[in-house]
Amino acid sequence: MQDTLNILFVGDVVGKPGMEVLRHLLPGLLLKFRIDFCLVNGENVDGGKGISPKLFEEMRTLGVDVVTGGNHSLYRDKILPVMEESPSLLRPFNYPSGTPGYGSGVFDLKLRDRVAVLNLQGRAFMPLTDCPFQTGREEMKRLSTYTKTVLVDFHAEATAEKMAFARYVDGLCSAVIGTHTHVQTADEMILPGGTAYMTDVGMTGAHSGVIGLDTENAIHRFLYVRHGKQATLAKEDLRLSAVLLEIETQTGRTLRIERLQLSP
Ligand SMILES: [Fe+2]
Ligand SMILES: [Fe+2]
C-alpha cells in the first residue's frame, strides 16, 4: 500500500466546451500531479443536460476512474442501461430504491490500494430525495469497512447544507466536495477530524455565459420563465475547475487540499 494517494476531483463538465477543455488538460494533469485516482462530475456533459454512453466512454479513455452525477444524471434514456452495468458511473445515492444505477462504489487501485466514492444530492432548492445526511452517513460507515479513503461528491445548491453535512461526517470520510452551482468557491479547508471540504469545485467548460449557458438564453429564462428557442451553451473563456487532495491511506485523513482553475 502507498502511504498517500493523490486524488484529482474535476467539477461539472458542461457540454462540448467542457469536453474540449477536459481533452486538452486532463492527461497532462494526471501525469504532472501523479494522480492515483481521478473523479469527474459528468451530469451536464451531453449538451448541458445528462450524459451519453459515448461521452462516458470517452471520459474513461481520458483517464477518469469514476464519473459522478447529480440532478441531471438520468436525463438521457440511453444512459440508463449503462448506469445499471457500470459501477464507475454513479448517480446520487439517496434516490428512491428502484432508481437505475449505483450511488457509491469501492474501486481497486494498484498496490492493493482502494478508494470508495459516494455521490449524494442535497434537498434545499433541489428535487425531493431521501435524506442525504442519514443515508449518506450510514453508507459511508459501510464503505469505510473496505477502505479508509472515502470521497464524497455532495451535489447541492445551498452552501449551508453542504457545510453542515461535512461537519456532520467529519472524521468518517476523507473529503466532502460540493458540485452543482458551477461556481468555484475559495473555502477549501481540512476540518478537525481530517475531512477535507470545499463548498463547490466549480465548472469545467465555458465561463463567458451564466453557469455554462449562453448569456442571452440565461437572461431569457429569468425574464420569461422558460428557455429561449433553444437552450444553447456559452462558448468562450474555457476553464477546468478541480481540486487536488493528498490522502493518508492508513487513516483516510486528507493532508493537503489545493484548488485549481486552469485554461487550455
Ligand atoms: Fe452541474
Ligand atoms: Fe446539478
pLDDT at residue 231, rounded to an integer: 72
- pLDDT at position 55 is 98
Catalytic one of 72, 155, 180, 182: 72
Q: For residue 174, how far is its CA from the centre of ligand 1 (angstroms)?
A: 22
Å from CA of 181 to ligand 1 middle: 7
Confidence (pLDDT) at 110: 84
Residue 239 CA, ligand 1 centroid: distance in Å:
15
Instruction: State in Å: Cα 183 to ligand 1 middle.
Output: 10
Query: What is the Å distance from ligand 2's center to 35 Cα?
Result: 25
Q: Over the stretch 148-178, which tens digit does the pLDDT of each residue have? A: 999 999 999 999 999 999 999 999 999 999 9
Burial (CB count within 10 angstroms: exposed 0-12, middle 13-18, buried 19+), residue 43? buried
Ligand nearest the Cα of residue 42 is: 1
Give the pLDDT of residue 159.
98
Residue 98 alpha carbon to ligand 1 centre in Å:
23
**Domain span at residue 41?**
4-262
Q: Which three cell numbers stand for residue 146?
A: 473496505
Residues in Cβ contact with 253 at an 8 Å cutoff, skipping those fewer than 6 apart: 174, 190, 193, 194, 195, 247
* Other beta carbons less than 10 A from residue 24's beta carbon: 14
Q: What is the pLDDT of residue 226?
A: 74
Which ligand places an atom closest to the C-alpha of 70?
Answer: 2
Ligand nearest to the CA of 122: 2
For 220-231, b where at least 16 C-beta lie within 10 A, e where not — what string? beeeeeeebeeb
Spans of the chain below 70 pLDDT: 228-229
Report the C-alpha gap between 237 and 213 in whole angstroms.
13
**Ligand with the closest atom to the CA of 205:** 1
Minimal CA–CA distance to 55: which of 11, 18, 25?
18
pLDDT at 155: 98
Collect all residues with Cβ–Cβ distance below 8 Å to 81 and sequence separation of at least 6: none
Q: 186 alpha carbon to ligand 1 midpoint, in Å?
A: 18
The predicted pLDDT at position 1 comes to 85
- The total of structural domains in the chain comes to 1
> 210 CA distance to ligand 1 centroid (A)?
12
> CATH number of the domain that 198 lies in?
3.60.21.10
Strand 175-179 to 150-155 pairing = parallel
pTM listed for this prediction: 0.97
Distance of CA 227 to the CA centre of its chain: 26
Q: Which residues surround ligand 1, an ion (CB under 5 A)?
A: 12, 44
Nearest residue to 21 via CA among 212, 254, 225, 252:
212
What sign has the CA pseudo-torsion 118, 169, 132, 198? negative
3-state secondary structure of 256: strand
Q: Which ligand is nearest to the CA of 48?
A: 1
* DSSP code at position 111: G
Look at residue 112 in the predicted model and tell me its pLDDT.
Answer: 85
Q: Which amino acid is at 19?
A: M
DSSP of 127-166: ---S-HHHHHHHHHHHHTTT-S-EEEEEE-S-HHHHHHHH
| 72 is a catalytic site residue | yes
List the one residue out of 114, 203, 198, 120 whose CA is nearest residue 163.
198
